[in-house]
Structure 1
């Protein structure tokens, strides 16, 4: 009989310990909203959550890079649009100058305006981006377009600009080089326009010089259009990647929640059930502990 009583005490005590441990765990889950509080509780889930943390950090970095790329590409597109407007105005002026009806003085006025357009395009070529760096230049911070004393131009840009990571194994070039913008198959656009402006102001056969410049001007406009189309395609790619990143983030958050977060209603119900059983077990144990050998024999 004594052995049986000890066994009953041991079983009741063990049962209460288990129930109290379960109640404590459920209380912690309700307080934190998480299924596990230490990795040792579920190593597999803990490792997966750690991987989620890494991917969340990568996604946050990619989101910043995508926003930067989006801003730079928009600025590049806008600036290229302004350069196109300047080239269109230059084409209109050169077309006028190519006619035989204008006087030399009129062509000199056109030459002066062309010179001003060249200055404007040099300024656009040296536009600073939102980081204070040359939009169409290198990372050194120096001007992208340098006007030399002899009337030529130097483009202080690398053959290819550095790219920005926007996803796992994905990068994007966020802007363009000034040399690609202003160099077409017909040569250096700015140098050609500067020379034409000078010829219209001081040279002879001004109408002939203007006519000779029309084809290179068209090539120059086509080149800027090609560059702008490339920028637009990259902007569309960035926009697509932003959408994919947001979708992936949502999917990962849902999966993480299913592995990590508790169902509050279900957990409260489980806690209530555990506490009810614990209370009943405690009452039974209390009655059992009050039994004496005399009461038992009776």
Structure 2
């Protein structure tokens, strides 16, 4: 078979290109530390590498979410611990207030401290999370959940929502407890009532929390509600108190005096300020009472029940109900805090699981992707030697000629 000079040169060039490509690939592997440089090198390994990197990226996002969730839950746990401490102090003050030997000034001192504790509870209920969101606002995390209404009573402005986040594939975790369940919807030991001003009122009238002065009369009226309606009559402001259900009037066209006690069906409350004609207030009976309502009734009872046998009996009823409602609030707080602790345990367990999964994924990724430096450098040395030998051989062959044999 004849071998032309052009064939010799073409084969030599092709061989050099192949050897240079192999050497360049090995040099790139050593430089990058990666065995698989492009999908065509190993399609199966390349697919697995992409999957592992996606898993690690997703795990990193979950870890960030878990870190934020842990901080949020720890802050809620701390808030609930402070809340239970405040409840314990409230209990001490309520027991102290039950002493029959207290003077008017003693009662006033206890009432003042109860107000301070209540303000502390409001501050706790408005605790913010690590991103500035209000922990107990439900879905309304951007708005302060607890504040005073037009009557100065503490009202809840959040909702019943409970936010959740995804902490792993197919796993979600609740990250907050709403304020209604935590502080508002507390079962009352016995029937109670709450007061509020209608949202459409145009005047500056305010209604107090009120207290039960006659338990038997109140419970015979329960579960009906009262409406306190104001009207202008000849330049005078008058009010009427009637049943919400039946319309029966218990007080009719009474001249209004700011701060004067209104006593109806075993309940006593006050309207102060300057209500306008058409304004109205609601006295709503029920079987639930917020912790703030419990505090306010205790404070109002200490400040308004006279130091008489009848007054002391009414105060005793207020204290007894307050202590029972306080126990219900403590039970609710303990239940919620226990749930927070369980979720914190879930966070820690998931964090450890993800770390272990990441370690295994990184080891597998390294096995598939990382170059064996000892093998690669040895191969590079061999390829360099082979290239040099090929170059020398080609140099010798290219100088051969038939004219040398003549």
**TM-score greater than 0.5 by the shorter chain:** yes
Whole-angstrom distance in 2 between the partners of 1:152 and 1:35: 70
Moved more, 130-139 or 20-29: 130-139
Q: Are 2:308 and 1:198 aligned? A: no
Alpha-carbon offset, residue 286 of structure 1: 1.7
Alpha-carbon offset, residue 224 of structure 1: 0.5
Whole-angstrom distance in 2 between the partners of 1:148 and 1:180: 19
Alpha-carbon offset, residue 294 of structure 1: 4.3
Moved more, 264-273 or 210-219: 210-219
1:186-227 C-alpha deviation (Å, 9 max, x unpaired): 332211111111101112222332123212111111111111
What are the equivalent positions in structure 2 for 1:93-112 lying under 5 Å apart?
93-112=93-112
Unaligned runs of 5+ in 2: 189-287, 306-310
The 8 Å contact of residues 297 and 318 in structure 2, kept in 1 or not, is answered as no
TM-score (norm 1): 0.90
What are the equivalent positions in structure 2 for 1:36-115 lying under 5 Å apart?
36-115=36-115
Q: Identify the match of residue 262 of structure 1 among 365, 371, 375.
A: 371
Whole-angstrom distance in 1 between the partners of 2:77 and 2:19: 67
Whole-angstrom distance in 2 between the partners of 1:87 and 1:116: 12
TM-score (norm 2): 0.67
1:160 aligned residue? 161
Q: Identify the match of residue 185 of structure 1 among 177, 184, 187.
A: 187
Higher strand share: 2
1:85-116 C-alpha deviation (Å, 9 max, x unpaired): 10000001111112333334322321221122
4+ residue runs of structure 1 moved beyond 6 angstroms? 4-10
1:59-87 C-alpha deviation (Å, 9 max, x unpaired): 22212211110111011000111111100
1:153-186 C-alpha deviation (Å, 9 max, x unpaired): 4322332322122111122222221112113333
Q: Identify the match of residue 242 of structure 1 among 351, 355, 365.
A: 351
Q: Are 2:218 and 1:217 aligned? A: no
Partner of 2:155, secondary structure, is strand
Moved more, 182-191 or 3-12: 3-12
Alpha-carbon offset, residue 149 of structure 1: 4.1
2:147 aligned residue? 146
The 8 Å contact of residues 163 and 174 in structure 2, kept in 1 or not, is answered as yes
Unaligned runs of 5+ in 1: none
Higher Cα Rg: structure 1 or 2?
2
2:338 aligned residue? 229
RMSD: 2.3
Moved more, 131-140 or 58-67: 131-140
Higher helix share: 1
